[in-house]
Homo-oligomer: A and B are copies of this chain.
Amino acid sequence: MNHSDLQERIQAVSRMAAFNNWLGLVIDEVSPGNVQLSLPWREDFGQYAGFMHAGIQGALIDTACGFAAATMAGKVLASQYTVRCLRPAIGEHFRVLATVVKPGRQQVFASAELFATRDGVEKRVATGDVLLVPQPD
């Protein structure tokens, strides 16, 4: 499957996820084992202090890792994920980069980094890991 077909397949899966549509996720890049998503900030994403809610951060990390895994393993479900909040997640624009660390028949390990751009300066605000299990089609 070429990269453009891969991207279309991931786009199609993402459009089936109502929450991804609500988030307004843009799928920037897809290659085997790698995915980059981005989205602009919206007030709806805020926690009590106005930063991006840690739950949204986790959703971005989980989703990007799921897509990265799907490029190698087809249908997958997350069985566990961890989010490390390194800095307050504040910015006008967010970008998440996910990579498959180890593909496998029984499970796929993936990790991701979340970046926020604020006043033109991009910083890494969170990292995370997801363990995914390939599903029968």
Q: How large is the interface on A (under 10, 10 to 19, 20 to 34, 35 or more residues)?
A: 35 or more
A89-121 Cβ-contact flags toward B at 8 Å (1 or 0)? 000000000000110001101010000000000
Interface centre among A16, A53, A102, A109 (most CB of B within 10 A): A53
CA of A86 to CA of B48, assembled, Å: 27
Give Cα distance in the complex from A124 to B63, angstroms.
22
Contacts of A111 in B (CB 8 A): 127
A47 contacts across to B, CB distance below 8 A: 17, 19-20
Given contacts A45-B18, A55-B55, contact A107 B133 (CB under 8 A): yes
Q: Report the bound CA distance from A46 to B62 in whole Å.
A: 14
